């Protein structure tokens, strides 16, 4: 069974600084990997995804993530954060299996932006 | 844009009540999911469905049941609500694992 670990519960970053949110997964083969963002009181919005090809993927809102098989990681990055990026971020892993194509989520990382 | 609509944003129910949470999607997706979100625990899968009248247990199905009579609608049922079911409930739908899942706004349920 797949699993996801987000080791950072809460991260605080200054506006304009760079950001990296960590995600490690456990799965026997190449998984499908996703990053979602949740603004306060809202549902989850898909930021980006990876399942094959170029290991550096671009997403919405200026985010990118890099798949590193050797480290079982899929870290999310942004070169310069904006106050509107304050939210909770979830990494998720999925495995192709007809009739059982579900996503398993990490526990989330809450991002605070300081002026 | 994909739209996943949950019938209520906030609900307050009494212990022992039967509670229905409704979810409708407008993109003809085969797969639908119910997750529960609690602080520090992330999202945990309660049930999912990959076809009409089909359902599979997720990681925490105890105390819940589901119904999918039509492709666009997936209902979560709390047979006898308890205070430990106070939580945020998120519905999602998707066409395939590659596409990911699209989420509704969530229903914050309080059981008193």
The tens digit of pLDDT for each residue in A63-97 reads 999 999 999 999 999 999 999 999 999 999 987 66
Q: Which residues of B lie inside 8 Å of A (Cβ-Cβ)?
A: 4, 31, 33, 35, 40-45, 48, 50, 56, 58, 90, 92, 94, 96-98, 100-106
Note whether B103 contacts A51, CB cutoff 8 Å: no
Q: Are A65 and A57 in contact (CB under 8 A)?
A: yes
Residues (pLDDT < 70) of chain B are 1-2
Nearest in space to A26 (alpha carbons), one of A63, A74, A86, A60: A74
Q: Which residues of A touch B58 (CB under 8 A)?
A: 102
Mean predicted lDDT score pLDDT of chain A: 91
SS3 content of chain A, % helix, strand, coil (to 5): 10, 50, 40
Q: Are A71 and A51 in contact (CB under 8 A)?
A: no
Token pair of A40, please?
Answer: 């306060």
Q: Does A31 touch chain B (CB under 8 A)?
A: no
Q: Count of CB atoms within 10 A of residue A32's CB?
A: 22
Nearest to A90 among B43, B104, B106 (CB): B43
Burial A44-73 (b: 16+ CB within 10 A, else e): bebbbbbbeeeeebebeeebbbbbeeeeeb
Q: Are A80 and A18 in contact (CB under 8 A)?
A: yes
Torsion sign across C-alpha atoms A27, A31, A32, A35: positive
What residues form DSSP beta bridges with A50? A33
pLDDT, mean of residues A11-39: 93
Residue A99 pLDDT greater than 80, yes or no: no
Q: Which residues of B touch A94 (CB under 8 A)?
A: 97, 100
């Amino acid at each position: 069974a797949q699993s996801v670990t987000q080791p950072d519960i809460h991260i605080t970053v200054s506006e304009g600084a760079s950001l990296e949110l960590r995600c490690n997964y456990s799965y026997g083969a190449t998984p499908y990997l996703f990053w979602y963002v949740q603004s306060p009181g809202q549902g989850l919005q898909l930021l980006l995804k990876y399942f094959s090809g170029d290991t550096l993927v671009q997403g919405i809102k200026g985010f990118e993530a890099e798949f590193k098989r050797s480290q079982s990681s899929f870290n999310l990055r942004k070169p310069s954060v904006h106050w509107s990026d304050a939210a909770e971020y979830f990494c998720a892993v999925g495995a192709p299996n007809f009739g059982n194509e579900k996503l398993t989520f990490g526990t989330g990382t809450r991002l605070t932006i300081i002026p | 844009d994909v739209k996943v609509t949950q019938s209520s944003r906030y609900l307050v129910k009494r212990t022992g009540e039967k509670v229905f949470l409704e979810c409708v999607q407008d993109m003809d997706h085969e797969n639908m999911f119910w997750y529960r979100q609690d602080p520090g625990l992330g999202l945990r899968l309660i049930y999912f469905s990959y076809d009409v009248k089909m359902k599979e247990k997720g990681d925490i199905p105890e105390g819940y049941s589901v119904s999918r009579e039509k492709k666009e609608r997936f209902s979560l049922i709390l047979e006898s609500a308890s205070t430990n079911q106070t939580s945020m409930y998120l519905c999602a739908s998707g066409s395939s694992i590659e596409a990911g899942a699209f989420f509704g706004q969530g229903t914050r349920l309080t059981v008193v």
